[in-house]
Chains A and B, each alone.
Chain A
Amino acid sequence: MNMTCEKAMSLLSAYIDRELGYDEFRQVELHVADCEACQAECNALKATKEFVGRLKAVELPRDFWPALRERLGASAQAHRQAYTRTRGSRGRGDILRPVSRLFLSPLARALAPALVAVVLVVLPLVWSAHRRPAETQMYSQVDTIEPYFRDYIISEYDRPLSDRTSVGFVVTAQAVTMYAADQLGLTTPVARTGSLRNSVPREAPPALDVEYTSGSHPR
């Protein structure tokens, strides 16, 4: 499709400057080749551009830098004083500067998400493994408790983010129940306090035949 004169005229400077895309450039080129008015306008604009381009670049005045250097120095001095005022003593600012630069560096910014992931995921896992009792110890102790509590406690210990207070409650209830059984003379007392490690003996006691109801709590 042929370009209109109006459109071609508006693009002539960009055409002269070769700042058009290939398609537009070709369309203007074809139009100018066929249109005398646009050709004349194109030549006039080229002549104008060339004439303006004859304006030669001039050298810097001799006093340009000496005067500017003084102003730059004064500005740097003012900046340093302002910096010292806001940051306290100069020595302190000098000490903290490399640290703040380290935290603002691109590398630090890139590593920040990885650090957050480590803190949120890896550390709880390591902490959980550290806090978990050895399996042999746990099983030897839990064997003396009712199967329901044993399974429950084992499953809770296997979950790294589980709520340990519920495990403590269950264990405490078991110990209290055993204590109640002792009071009733049903079996040998095995526990008097709530701690799992302290309350459950390593030797398996005789099986308890007690229902876990509120009525069995000691008064």
Chain B
Amino acid sequence: MLNTEALAHVRCRETDAQAFEELVRHYDRKLYNVALRLTGNPDEAKDLAQEALLRAYRAFNRFRLGTSFEKWLFRIASNLYIDKLRKQHNIRLESLDEPVPTANGQVDRALPDWSANPEDVAEQNELAETIQAALRSLPLNYRLAVVLYDLEGFSYEEISGILRCSIGTVRSRIHRGRRLLRHKLSPYLNPAAQAGAKW
């Protein structure tokens, strides 16, 4: 652990917001990216990451010195997202493609087009959206494991600490998640790799 980080740990005990900010500056970008890959929406991702940091700040007295702060922080974020999804199950979701019922019959939704960008940016955005959509289609447990490993570079052991499950479970979730992704992304994958695949 960095000395500055250790010092910040001590100062944070005294509810020093500035010290807390110094500490979490090491992880804020990573946390936001995980949130973005989980939610698929920048605004939701920002809310999720901010809420996770705020909760970590309020609960800092319960953090045990000598353990991994990063794991603790990402555990808070993933639990927060899981809780949020559970609550959302009771909310009716409306599809953006679904026509709006009116007194004069159904009307198609008119959505603005925000993608007025150069071609390369558009291509990059398309790629990102495709992968993001595929990730969003995964069951939550698989998505969490794949995002933490493939995108954020945590080890299996670290993920087992964050998600509070065995390494065998992490292994299984990553494998199943990747197999589902392979189906979703098959049109974009290297044909040579696809040719040999039987399922």
Which residues on A are within 8 Å of B, measured CB to CB? 10-14, 17, 19, 36-37, 39-41, 43-49, 51-61, 64-65, 67-69, 71-73, 75-76, 79-80
Chain B: which residue is nearest A46 at the CB level?
A: B193
**B175 touching A44, Cβ below 8 Å:** no
What is the count of residue pairs linking A and B with beta-carbon distances less than 8 angstroms? 131
Minimum CB–CB distance from B42 to chain A (whole Å) comes to 7
Chain B: which residue is nearest A37 at the CB level?
A: B198
Chain A residues, CB < 8 A from B70: none
* A47–B124 CA distance with the chains assembled, in angstroms: 18
* A73–B33 CA distance with the chains assembled, in angstroms: 24
**A40 touching B174, Cβ below 8 Å:** no
Chain B residues, CB < 8 A from A53: 150-151
Q: Is B189 an interface residue (CB 8 A)?
A: yes
Instruction: Given contacts A44-B193, A55-B37, list 4 more A-B pairs with CB under 8 A.
Output: A51-B185, A51-B188, A60-B32, A69-B17
Chain B residues, CB < 8 A from A51: 131, 185, 188-189
Q: How large is the interface on B (under 10, 10 to 19, 20 to 34, 35 or more residues)?
A: 35 or more
**A61 touching B42, Cβ below 8 Å:** yes
Chain A residues, CB < 8 A from B175: 10-14, 45
Contact of B189 among A48, A69, A76 (CB under 8 A): A48
* A44–B192 CA distance with the chains assembled, in angstroms: 9
Chain A residues, CB < 8 A from B192: 43
Minimum CB–CB distance from B138 to chain A (whole Å) comes to 11
* A107–B105 CA distance with the chains assembled, in angstroms: 76
**A68 touching B29, Cβ below 8 Å:** no
* A12–B196 CA distance with the chains assembled, in angstroms: 15
Minimum CB–CB distance from B50 to chain A (whole Å) comes to 5
173-190 of chain B: CB within 8 A of chain A: 174-175, 178-179, 181-182, 185, 188-190
- Which of A11, A41, A44, A54 has most chain B Cβ within 10 Å? A44
* A217–B70 CA distance with the chains assembled, in angstroms: 84
Q: Is B81 an interface residue (CB 8 A)?
A: no
Chain B residues, CB < 8 A from A80: 15
Q: Is B69 an interface residue (CB 8 A)?
A: no
**B151 touching A59, Cβ below 8 Å:** no
